[in-house]
Amino acid sequence: MRLKVALVQLCSTEDVQRNCARALDGVEEAVRRGARWVLLPENTCYIRGENDPVSWSEPLDGTIVGSFCRAAQRWGVYILLGSVPEPASDSTKVYNTSVLIGPEGDILAIYRKLHLFDAVLPDGRVLSESRFVKRGTDLALARVDGVTVGLSICYDLRFPELYRALALAGAEILTVPSAFTVPTGQAHWEILLRSRAIENQAFVLAPAQTGQHTSSRSSYGHSMIVDPWGRVIAAAEDEEGIVEATLEMDHLRQIRQRMPCLTHRRFDIVGPKE
């Protein structure tokens, strides 16, 4: 079984309408290239400056998500809307929410980012996503042409237990829409993506933001598709554009059969005795 996928690398800004139009143009171009599934990065339609308040959000039944649902239906493809700020009904904060849309225009899965990026970067900048974003609480899986996929967002990549839980729940493809900072991207992006693929024997699809978004924020880019053996089979540089690949699902299943690591896990290991 084969699945043609395309990752759209964007440089989004605070201009929601501009970003939405560019993302939809990317979807159309990917469809022209034969993609069955088009994946967009974190903060697809809106990206704010570092530590700035979230000035735009919209419910998932609003016009922006609706425009991507209509595009999926029009082209008969799956679309991963990498993430949008979704109002939290019980908070002044928003969720950072990834939305998987099916070829009939219906929402198949909703994932609200579990791990929020609060960190001090090597250049001294202090970032605090949790000031304005509320943590999600649930894993999210769905089916794309019969293949089970597990959803995540950006900083989640540093927490391998999330991906192991998704793999044990049946995920054969892991999605990581991201807006990695330049310093962390240069140091860790490819290493982490390949590690998550190898240890879970899964394809990893990581569409990324790139370039200068605002005066205070830029992203690393380098969108990447990694196979279950840890090989990078397609990758972008730091320009906007599309990377694509055909995923050979039989290859994944052969790897899991020949080296059944997921069944070799030990559950009797505890901390060292005093």
Catalytic residues: 42, 113, 154
Interacting residues of 203 by C-beta distance below 8 A, sequence separation 6+ = 172, 173, 174, 197, 225, 226, 227, 228, 247, 252
Secondary structure letter of residue 178 according to DSSP: B
| CA dihedral of residues 258, 261, 266, 269 (deg, nearest 10) | 140
Assign 61 to helix, strand or coil: coil
State the burial class of residue 83 (Cβ atoms within 10 Å of its Cβ: 0-12, 13-18, 19+).
buried
Q: Name the H helices within 81-218.
A: 160-168, 182-200
Assign 9 to helix, strand or coil: strand
Q: Tell me the helix, strand and coil percentages in the chain, rounded to 5.
A: 30, 30, 40
Q: What distance in Å separates the CA atoms of residue 78 and residue 25, rounded to the nearest whole number?
A: 15
Q: What distance in Å separates the CA atoms of residue 218 and residue 186, rounded to the nearest whole number?
A: 13
Whether 144 contacts 2, CB under 8 Å: no
Whether 157 contacts 185, CB under 8 Å: no
Whether 192 contacts 162, CB under 8 Å: no
